[in-house]
Amino acid sequence: MSQRMLEGKVAVVTGAGGGIGREIALMMSQEGAKVVINDLGVSVTGDGGSATPAEQTKAIIEQRGGEAVINTNSVASWTSAKGIIDTAINAFGRIDIVVNNAGILRDVIFHKMSEDDWNSVINVHLSGSFYVSRAAAEHFRKQESGAFVHMSSTSGLIGNFGQANYAAAKLGITALSKSIALDMKRYNVRSNCIAPFAWSRMTGSIPADTPEQKARVEKIKQMTPDKNAPMAVFLASDLAKDVSGQVFATRNNEIFLMSSPRPVKGVHRDGGWTPWTIADHAAPALKAAFMPLDRSGEVFSWDPV
């Protein structure tokens, strides 16, 4: 098609200095959007900082004929997140799309997780998604249009070892997105989530010590970051005007619509329950429908297609 999907739109992509964020920024630019590249250039754990990753993304966009500016504000505070959106307004005069992709990892088994491990991850992923979205919401409401795309994870949707902080943040983002979709529907504003699969810095810490672990890593390496960009572009476009409050998983060439929690089975008892009758009757009746203690890799057990 000759018409580009995001022609005339302005997008903010957080964490756009590399990996999935960079690929989303590049494809959005190719589809006609002017892009704010937000990135601090920190390590996976959130340490350090460098302008180089954002500059590299900007250079690629401009080499391909697109327009982009860089913002190095942190997403993890109300004031600095507002500055990210202000960059879009000051540079391009509007804001149409927000992609909440910025993230860090502090993986550690739950009973050894520190306060800083918890707070750092929650602040960037969950609070950061709220702060950036909230700053953009003022503009979206006034213009009665806009699209949010948030990055979730099967670590939160399903489960994983050593990621209580990350999983809690990522599942929380799905609830945040649904609330945004409900609250801002009257203003023609949409909000959706993507749970991406990709080999990047964020998955580079996956253990590869045993033959089984090595085989799993090799499968993940097949899933390059660019495979997630098409869904982000679509959800940001006017062609997705009827898609809101949803969670998608993108895995190589596969796209999945993920379920939201709903009642799966119920029991009732005249006169109410006691702890003893729950133990004797309710729990045994419900047990067959209990969710298993599985992990993402066990649910997505087949090779990427």
Q: What proportion of the chain, given as a percentage, has pLDDT over 90? A: 83
Residue 297 has pLDDT above 60, yes or no: yes
The predicted structure's pLDDT at residue 211: 72
Q: How far apart are CA 163 and CA 112, in angstroms?
A: 11
- What is the token pair recorded at 168? 């809690």
Picking from 24-33, 43-52, 205-214, 239-248, which range would have the lowest pLDDT averaged per residue? 205-214
- Dump pLDDT digits (tens) for 39-54: 997 667 767 667 889 9
Q: How far apart are CA 177 and CA 5, in angstroms?
A: 23
Task: Give which of 57, 49, 45 is closest to 16, Cα–Cα.
Answer: 57
Helix (H) or strand (E) holding 249: strand 247-251
Q: How far apart are CA 225 and CA 199, in angstroms?
A: 7
The predicted structure's pLDDT at residue 220: 67
The predicted structure's pLDDT at residue 305: 80
Burial (CB < 10 A; 0-12, 13-18, 19+), residue 37, is: buried
- Dump pLDDT digits (tens) for 56-88: 999 999 999 999 999 999 999 999 999 999 999
Is the pTM here over 0.85, yes or no?
A: yes
Q: How far apart are CA 130 and CA 78, in angstroms?
A: 9
Catalytic residues: 166
The predicted structure's pLDDT at residue 228: 96
CATH class of 10-260: alpha beta
